[in-house]
Structure 1
Amino acid sequence: MHAPEPLIVIQRFTEAHLEGVTALYNEPAVCRQVLQMPFQSVEAWRNKLEMDNERRLQLVAVHGGEVIGQLGLEQLLRVRRSHVGAFGMGVAPTWQGKGVGSRLLAAALDVADNWMNLRRVELTVYADNEAAQKLYCKFGFEVEGRMRDYAVRDGQFVDTVSMARIRTPA
């Protein structure tokens, strides 16, 4: 007999999650894998939350009242690209590889497909983040290209990979 799965709840990101999301992205191991600056304030995350509208979906994964993951999906505003959404995600280091990213991504793609009617969902991920790339491939994302010296991380220029999933009509 094995231990029961931990209860992970996916919720819409609200004011109640601000401290937890701020702490998540200020965790050095998370911060170095996303395209955000370290030491962000709660106020910076509050501003992102206030920009919430029907073109933005912001989710959190919560376990025992603690934020253990976050995903933001945004539909692009330009008319000729309104069928496209882009997202970013972070998962607490102790929860990586335990299905949190899969749960967040499944929930976001359900909304992207069935509510936002997005045909294309795209992302940028560091080229050396093989675990994340593997997760995205599991959900139908494909590598479209490599962008050299795309960002600075740990004082070095690093490459990223552009990935996208294109939903085909049923």
Structure 2
Amino acid sequence: MTAGKEKIIIRTGTLEDAQPSFVLQRAVVSEMDYLVTVPQELSADPDRHIQWIQKIMNHDRETFIVAEVNGELAGWIIFQSPDRKRLAHTGSLGMMVDPAHRGKGIGRLLINDLLKWAESNDEIMKVSLSVFSDNHRAISLYKSAGFKEEGRKVNEIQRNENEYIDDVLLYKMVW
């Protein structure tokens, strides 16, 4: 796919993508806008991130998908599924898009590819995620991809000393 003069490729991630995804994660977390994790909580050890990506890649019910723009990592999405038998049909996604590449449809492409993967996986029936209640762009994107709200954790996230927001729980059945 192309967006303007830029070539966007969505593909299954490899171990070679682990280091650039670590760098991207640090950049997105440093924005401190819509993630629970704050920069001080991130590991400074890229090897731990690489091990995490490798674990996902080696799991039948998990996946790591990346977006490249002109040959550089511009975003990624992961899906993780619990090891518990009664929850093995479920899992949750996490996604990060490079601030320099937002607004190009990369998030939508990553979600669509993840949903295709989940639909083709005989074990996965439900894809879930959580999103800050004031992240209206993300909520709109997820709902346009067919996700529905299943609940909220009221005042779950403390933005600063006197500001709390809800954590919105979304899901999509893929069976």
TM-score bracket relative to the smaller structure: 0.7 to 0.9
1:44 aligns with 2:44: no
Q: Which residue matches 1:114?
A: 120
State the shift of 1:85 in Å: 1.8
* Residue-by-residue CA offset, 1:121-165 (whole Å, 9 max, x unaligned): 110001110100001001110111221232344555432100111
Cα distance in 1 between the residues matched to 2:51 and 2:16 = 14
State the shift of 1:50 in Å: 2.5
Would you say the 8 A contact 1:26–1:40 is kept in 2?
Answer: no
Structure 1 unpaired stretches of 5+:
none
Q: Which residue matches 1:35?
A: 36
Q: Which residue matches 2:15?
A: 15
State the shift of 1:117 in Å: 4.0
Residue identity over aligned pairs, in percent, reads 26
Q: 1:68 aligns with which of 56, 63, 74?
A: 74
State the shift of 1:76 in Å: 2.6
Amino acid paired to 1:47: Q
1:140 aligns with 2:146: yes
* Residue-by-residue CA offset, 1:74-100 (whole Å, 9 max, x unaligned): 223222222212111111112222110
State the shift of 1:23 in Å: 1.9
Structure 2 unpaired stretches of 5+:
none
Amino acid paired to 1:44: R
Q: Which residue matches 1:124?
A: 130
* Residue-by-residue CA offset, 1:20-63 (whole Å, 9 max, x unaligned): 2122111123x532233425432231121131221210111111
Cα distance in 2 between the residues matched to 1:60 and 1:154 = 32
CA RMSD after TM alignment: 2.1
Would you say the 8 A contact 2:61–2:121 is kept in 1?
Answer: no
1:89 aligns with 2:95: yes
The SS at the match of 1:144 is: strand
Cα distance in 2 between the residues matched to 1:154 and 1:20 = 30
1:112–1:137 Cα change, 3 Å: same
TM-score (norm 1): 0.85
For structure 1, which segment, 72-81 or 105-114, has the greater mean C-alpha deviation from structure 2 after superposition?
Answer: 72-81
Amino acid paired to 2:97: V
Would you say the 8 A contact 1:22–1:40 is kept in 2?
Answer: no
Cα distance in 2 between the residues matched to 1:67 and 1:36 = 21
Moved over 6 A (4+): none
Aligned length: 165
For structure 1, which segment, 65-74 or 17-26, has the greater mean C-alpha deviation from structure 2 after superposition?
Answer: 17-26
State the shift of 1:116 in Å: 4.2
